[in-house]
A and B are shown apart, each in its own frame.
Chain A
């Protein structure tokens, strides 16, 4: 449930508070408006987060030893003079 850190890893951060600087409505109201206008955008953003979660879950798995073993064998074959 703690997703906070998964959001922006290695990606350019968005101009987060640009709206706040020119928008003095209360936060909750401006959020409502933003939700109405940007719902599609928000959904896409959430979809993007989910995609990355799915992908990163595999990236973060421990790599089976088999991989390095196979690479080592390929390496031995490959380094024979040819």
Chain B
């Protein structure tokens, strides 16, 4: 097997290390933007957040461990940045309400099916911790242990947040807990169900 000679413990970073790190970071920018958007809703604020996180990640590149998940690492930086900004400038309750409202209009795609809109509204009603955990697993493609690392919680906590988020989202969509243009959310659930059947048929 391999000997100690192959152990890549180096104390000096090379320009090549930086180049590799930089191109990996550039590839992560779209994902960091998406995660930032899901955290703070407003596209402009989200880009500010993603930029701050990108600069932080670049500055901290020496502390990134080769071979670990750089996407998770960058998301963790971004999330920490978000919550430290939030502590500095907003009261939590206020933010959640504002974030919820902004999230509703964050992606303005008239071609998007109705249910996408309803989904966004339902998501906005979840507690922030559950929302981010669900988004990381459901959209970011992270495993629970990665979510735990990003959110600074135990793996079991990450799992329970995701499952509570799924249940709550389902409840909101089924029970018609909100209305849109006078239309009950059960319409949204019907739309989602017909989508589900279509998916099932496509399998």
Contact = CB atoms under 8 A, between A and B. Distances in A.
B202 interface: yes
A4 B202 contact: yes
A47 B47 contact: no
A50 B134 CA distance: 12
Contacts of A56: 34, 139
Interface string A36-48: 0001101111111
Contacts of A51: 119, 123, 134-135, 138-139
B119 A50 contact: yes
Interface in A23-78: 31, 34-35, 39-40, 42-61, 63-64, 66-68, 70-71, 74-75, 78
Given A7-B199, A14-B203, A44-B166, A64 B47 contact: yes
Given A46-B193, A51-B138, A71-B22, A31 B116 contact: no
Interface in A5-22: 7, 10-11, 14, 16-17
A28 to B, nearest CB: 10
A50 B201 contact: no
Given A42-B197, A43-B192, A63-B29, A53 B116 contact: yes
Chain B interface, DSSP helix/strand/loop, else mixed:
helix
A75 B22 contact: yes
Chain A interface residue number, banded: 35 or more
A42 B196 contact: yes
B25 A71 contact: yes
B192 A47 contact: yes
Contact of A7 (B116, B192, B201, B202): B202
B37 interface: yes
A52 B113 CA distance: 14
Among A14, A40, A61, the most chain B Cβ lie within 10 Å of the Cβ of A61
A37 to B, nearest CB: 12
B81 interface: no
Contact of B18 (A7, A54, A61, A79): A79
Contacts of A60: 30
B120 interface: yes
B116 A46 contact: no
B20 interface: no
Contacts of B18: 75, 79
Interface string B52-72: 001100110000000000000
Contacts of B201: 31
Given A55-B135, A75-B18, 4 more contacts: A14-B203, A43-B189, A56-B139, A58-B37
